[in-house]
Amino acid sequence: MILKKVKLHNWKNFQNCEVDLTDRCFIIGANASGKSNFIDALRFLRDIAKQSGGLQTAVEERGGITKIRCLAARTQTNVSITVELGNSDEEHNLWRYHLDFVHTGGGVIKSQVKIIAEEVYSYREKKYILKRNSETSGEDEETLKYTYLEQATTNRQFRELHAFFQNIEYLNVIPQMVRESSSVATSFTKEDYYGRNFLERLAKMNEKTRNSYFRRINECLKIAVPQLEELQFIKDKMGIPHLEARYVHWRAKGSKQQEVQFSDGTLRLIGFLFALLDNSGVILLEEPEINLHSGIIAQIPEFISKIQRSKKSKSDTQILITTHSYDILSAPGISSDEVLLLKNTQEGTDIHKVSDIEEIKSIVDAGLSMADAVIPFTKPKEIEKFSQTTLF
């Protein structure tokens, strides 16, 4: 399955937005338009469904509902997320999940959120599997603090949804955090998407699977970073996990280097390759172009498409990418259905498929690249004045 539609109300930048998604989506927009916040709505569903997660935990990890609720919200202060799911090669959807919640508590009572509505609709059965709100029999202020999605005793009829959300993957390796993790003998118990426990995650993998991944990653590194050979996973005398590779230079056997000595681009590329290999489902990639050479960046769209085709026989793999990169968007084969454009307004951020924006679509249809068509629409209107300003 993949995500077919996302609808947000009062979620961070988005007062109201609704957009259809495809197997491969490029999410673009100006700085602070809400690219990260859009994919965070999907991470939010994952945080509810994951082990040791839940609604209250997912809200607290984001600083409470006041940090989630859109600044453009007025009389309606509730936050809601609705997603529709289906198979990528089928027109009809399979599931719709809707969650609507609002702030409760304050003062001496702990600030939390309570559910206004939680609904699961099955398109196969053409009926609601779940439809709960404050008026539902058996519900009270305490039960409405927990979703049925997060509870094994109540999600039995839609456990397929629960598993789908659990498998949403976000990995944005920040090289400095990978290096930090190897410099101390501390176990990072809290889940981290930015690389602080990337090496620990590798350590916990099945050895056969890990070795298989490294063989494939090495094939890619031979082309993208030819001076690095034989990337492998090791543990030092203290049991601390490391990445190690042979750096080829004038000496016949080269010399061994570990992740502390790897370039930022190399670590980002390894994390990017690992995310694509290790997951089948929804993969969220934030600006994969950072630290990478433009020659590598230009290959990312087709490389992703090839990965998706190779996994197609096993399951649908959907990849959502936030990007500012001209090189990524210049790649041939990107359709206007695959690009989502975010635009700031006084009432929050709007989001539209490029295929629905006639002004941009006509530029693409005229033969220009997607980058030439959309990037001018994402830059600040008066950015040319920037170079004329002075700090003194």
pLDDT of residue 342: 94
pLDDT at residue 8 is higher than 70:
yes
Tokens 């498998």 belong to which residue? Answer: 167
CA distance linking residue 75 with residue 191, whole number of Å: 36
pLDDT of residue 188: 47
- Over range 152-158, report the average pLDDT: 93
Q: Token pair for residue 63? A: 């600083």
Q: In percent, how much of the chain has pLDDT > 70?
A: 93
The model's confidence at residue 253, banded by pLDDT at 50, 70 and 90, is low
Q: In percent, how much of the chain has pLDDT > 90?
A: 49
Return the domain boundaries, the chain: 2-168+316-388, 175-280
pLDDT of residue 43: 94
The H-or-E segment that residue 296 falls in is helix 294-297
Q: Token pair for residue 347? A: 């009432």
Q: Which amino acid is at 135?
A: E
The model's confidence at residue 313, banded by pLDDT at 50, 70 and 90, is low
- Over range 5-22, report the average pLDDT: 94
Domain 2-168+316-388 has CATH 3.40.50.300: yes
Indicate the SS3 state at residue 27. Answer: strand
State the pTM of this model: 0.88
Strand partners, 80: 9, 100
- Determine whether 109 is exposed, middle or buried from the number of CB atoms within 10 Å of its CB (0-12, 13-18, 19+): exposed
Q: Token pair for residue 149? A: 């999605």
pLDDT at residue 59 is higher than 60:
yes
- Span 337-385, pLDDT tens digits: 999 999 988 888 999 999 999 999 899 888 888 999 999 888 888 788 8
Q: By C-alpha distance, which of 113, 116, 15 is closest to 351?
A: 15
CA distance linking residue 3 with residue 316, whole number of Å: 10
pLDDT of residue 251: 60
57 — alpha (psi -120 to 50), left (phi > 0) or beta? Answer: alpha
The whole-chain average pLDDT of the chain stands at 87
Neighbours of 36 (CB within 10 A): 17
Q: Residue 9 to residues 134, 342, 347: CA-CA distances in angstroms?
A: 19, 15, 12
- Span 214-233, pLDDT tens digits: 999 999 999 998 888 889 89
The model's confidence at residue 53, banded by pLDDT at 50, 70 and 90, is confident
Pick from 234-243, 244-253, 322-331: least confident = 244-253
- Span 164-212, pLDDT tens digits: 999 998 877 777 777 776 555 445 445 565 666 788 888 888 999 999 9
Give the β-pairing of 318-322 and 24-29: parallel
Contacts of 319 (CB under 8 A, 6+ apart): 23, 24, 25, 276, 282, 283, 285, 304, 308
